[in-house]
Amino acid sequence: MKSLKENFQKAHIVIIGSGIIGKFNALELSELGFQVTIIDPTQLQNSSNAALGLLMGNMYQKKRGRSWDLRKQSIELWPQWITFLQKFNCALNIEKPLIQLTTNEEKFKKLEKFIYESNDLDLKILERDSIFIKNINKAFQTKNIKGMISLQDGRINAFSLLKTLDKYLKYKKVNLLEEEIIKIRKSKNQWLSTTKNNRDIKSDIVILCNSLKAVNLLNNISDEIKLKPVLGQAMEIEINDAEVDLLSLPKQFNINGKNIIPKSKNKLIIGSSDEYSSKPEENTFEKLTNFLDKKPNWLMKGKISKKWYGIRSRPDGEPSPIMRKIEDGLLICTGFYKNGILLAPACSKWVANEIKIYLN
């Protein structure tokens, strides 16, 4: 340990998994001057690439507890990281506001109470005669949609964010290995991560950011973490109705739990579902369009032009996410079955603090 303490930033950190959590940790740790290696065999097929990128921070209704603390920290960190990352992609941005809608009277009353009690001027009930509500009700051929607007929440394009992080990591010469890690073990104060090709990668610290598969690597180390797969699906729908202009709708909104992102006059994205399985079923369209009692005609006749899914990990028997020190030099960040994009900055801050404590 002595040499590590003396050479604080010379510590070599291996991050297993290059989804948003692995990449954000790499960003934070590289900025602190650490030597970082990220290892992942299939960067593009993870749940981060499937994410819609909604950042539901301030509109979260429980303003206490760990989940709120993580959200609050991320809400504060996001603007700083966006300014920083814009050096690598000037178009990267958080598109605001975010609108949450419901057709359920009881849920709407809860929203009203939440806004009244939160005393946050950036959260407002959308009046029945507001242009947003008028356009939404018109497009969805109903009169029952009501909701709130959060001026400081929004959406980041997750795919573009991941690409920007790649650009940053390349610029910082962060080592990226396209390998699968099949085992980790400690030997003489160092960690050895063994690849499928039987190569041992030495490091002072290992951070497991490989979602569901993290449990396999902990086999001989700890059996206290249990994760279950949660599949999330999303689709792009193309409509053919000259009377409906999807661009008259807000840029991102949620109706009865489904996220909707209009892409053009006749295309929108709808997601995401929570299915306790690892294989998508065939009835994606039905699953993702069942958010209203009666679907508008244009939606009923819509055709799927793209569909995709991601498999996330949900902690079994404890709250999401799991951010924990397992042993000296071994950290785990997993179980981000929801909100992994939103929470990535708070997670990387926690990791950096743990590493500072370990090395000091």
Ligand X SMILES: Cc1cc2nc3c(=O)[nH]c(=O)nc-3n(C[C@H](O)[C@H](O)[C@H](O)COP(=O)(O)OP(=O)(O)OC[C@H]3O[C@@H](n4cnc5c(N)ncnc54)[C@H](O)[C@@H]3O)c2cc1C
**Applying CB under 6 A, which part among 64-72, 90-98, 141-149, 336-344 lies near ligand X?**
336-344
SS3 state at 317: coil
CB 15 within 8 A of CB 40: no
Look-up: residue for tokens 């902990």?
Answer: 218
Cβ distance to ligand X smaller for residue 157 or 359: 157
341 near ligand X, rule: CB under 6 A:
yes
Angle CA(127)–CA(130)–CA(132) in degrees, nearest 5? 115
On the CB side of 43, CA atoms within 13 Å amount to 15
255 binds ligand X (CB under 6 A): no
Of residues 297-326, which lie at the interface with ligand X (CB under 6 A)? 310, 312
Tell me which H or E stretch contains 271.
strand 267-271
Q: Work out which of 43, 150, 164, 254 binds ligand X, going by CB under 6 A.
A: 43
The rounded distance, in Å, linking the Cα atoms of 146 and 262 is 19
Amino acid residing at 89: N
Q: Is 101 a binder of ligand X (CB under 6 A)? A: no
If binding is defined by CB under 6 A, does position 360 make contact with ligand X? Answer: no
Residue 149 or 344 having the CB closest to ligand X: 344
Show Cβ contacts of residue 121 under 8 Å, excluding neighbours closer than 6 positions: none
- CB of 336 or CB of 350, closer to ligand X: 336
Q: Letter for the amino acid at 263?
A: K
Pair 145, 95: CB distance under 8 Å: no
Minimum CB distance to ligand X, residue 209 (Å): 5
Contact with ligand X (CB under 6 A) among 15, 54, 169, 323: 54
Binding positions for ligand X, 132-191, rule CB under 6 A: 180-181
Residue 349 binding ligand X, by CB under 6 A: no
The site for ligand X (CB under 6 A) is made up of: 16-22, 39-43, 46-48, 50-54, 180-181, 209-211, 213, 232-234, 271-272, 310, 312, 336, 338-342
